[in-house]
Amino acid sequence: GDSVTQMEGPVTLSEEAFLTINCTYTATGYPSLFWYVQYPGEGLQLLLKATKADDKGSNKGFEATYRKETTSFHLEKGSVQVSDSAVYFCALSESGTYKYIFGTGTRLKVLA
């Protein structure tokens, strides 16, 4: 079945460091790919998404490119801030379905 694998956390970085959180997936069809962010005590909210191969999703300085050849959707940010401290979830959904598959989440802690 479909699955999402993301890197184990926690990830601890200093402010202004470069961030990469790896995400790979397995899917039988052509899924849409998502990154969601969860701040402490809140629900998940969409960070960015890509709906087809080679699409790049971007938001708030974060970006991720849908790589079909490597089945990956790695999240990157050039310069993290303390306010980026949160848990990040990679997810996929097969086209035409209502179901999502979420990764286990990666906790990011950014130190001032």
Q: How would you list the strands of the sheet with 56-59, edge to edge?
A: 19-21, 75-77, 62-65, 56-59
Q: Is 24 in the site for another protein (CB under 8 A)?
A: no
CA dihedral 103, 106, 107, 112 (to 10 degrees): -140
Pick the binder of another protein from 12, 26, 45, 59 (CB under 8 A). 45
Pick the binder of another protein from 51, 58, 65, 72 (CB under 8 A). 51
Of residues 17 and 94, the one with the C-beta less far from another protein? 94
Element (DSSP H or E) covering residue 11: strand 11-14
Nearest distance in Å: CB 29, another protein: 11
Q: Is 96 in the site for another protein (CB under 8 A)?
A: yes
Contact 58, 46 (CB under 8 A): no
Binding site for another protein (CB under 8 A): 31-32, 34, 36, 41-46, 49, 51-52, 89, 93-100, 102-105
